[in-house]
């Protein structure tokens, strides 16, 4: 039977387990908590009622940053990350956002190119990963 996919806004703490498993399994659990988590808007993708992917959005005026896009390791490459990205891009348009940006892991850059994000010249190294700032202007 086809997998039932549902995306919903979720409470901040529900993101932490998936962030930890997908992004920083070797770091302490608390390291995935963000200082700003309770100011953000968080979304969860449920596959057959099981929380499988998460992403978090933070806004300053009409500039939106998404952080910690994460899909459970055994469920990656099945289109769930794409569905979450499409969902937050729609959400940002509804909010009349001008720009959406992220600190992308360099090894995930190709994934963001699929959504027409542009690589900027801002790069940095943190927690064992190379990052590049990527952004997309939202046009209406």
Alpha-carbon distances of 89 from 50, 65, 134, rounded to whole Å: 23, 11, 14
Q: Which is nearer to ligand COA, 51 or 78 (CB)?
A: 78
Q: Which stretch binds ligand COA (CB under 6 A): 1-9, 33-41, 63-71, 93-101?
A: 63-71
Q: Could you say which of 77, 96, 126, 139 contacts ligand COA (CB under 6 A)?
A: 77
Residue 53, beta-bridge partner list: 45, 71
* Helix ranges restricted to H, 24-108: 80-94
45 binds ligand COA (CB under 6 A): no
H/E element, 23: helix 16-23
66 binds ligand COA (CB under 6 A): no
For residues 2-31, which are near ligand COA according to CB under 6 A?
Answer: 22-23
Q: b/e for 43-54, b at 16 or more Cβ within 10 A?
A: bbbbbeeebbbb
78 binds ligand COA (CB under 6 A): yes
Q: Which is nearer to ligand COA, 32 or 97 (CB)?
A: 32
Q: How many residues bind ligand COA (CB under 6 A)?
A: 19
Are 44 and 53 within 8 A, CB to CB?
A: yes
Tokens describing residue 16: 């932490």
Q: Could you say which of 70, 88, 92, 97 contacts ligand COA (CB under 6 A)?
A: 70
Per CB under 6 A, residues contacting ligand COA are 22-23, 69-71, 76-82, 104-105, 107-108, 110-111, 114
């Amino acid at each position: 039977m086809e997998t039932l996919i549902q995306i919903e806004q979720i409470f901040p703490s529900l993101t932490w387990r998936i962030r930890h498993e997908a992004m920083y399994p070797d770091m302490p659990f608390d390291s995935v908590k963000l200082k700003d988590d309770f100011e953000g808007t968080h979304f969860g993708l449920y596959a057959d009622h099981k929380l499988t992917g998460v992403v978090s959005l933070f806004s300053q005026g009409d500039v939106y940053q998404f952080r910690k896009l994460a899909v459970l390791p055994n469920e990656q490459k099945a289109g769930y990350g794409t569905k979450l990205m499409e969902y937050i891009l729609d959400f940002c348009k509804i909010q009349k956002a001008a720009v959406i940006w992220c600190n992308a892991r360099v090894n995930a850059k190709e994934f963001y190119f699929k959504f027409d994000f542009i690589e900027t010249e801002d790069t940095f190294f943190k927690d064992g990963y190379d990052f590049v700032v990527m952004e997309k202007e939202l046009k209406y």
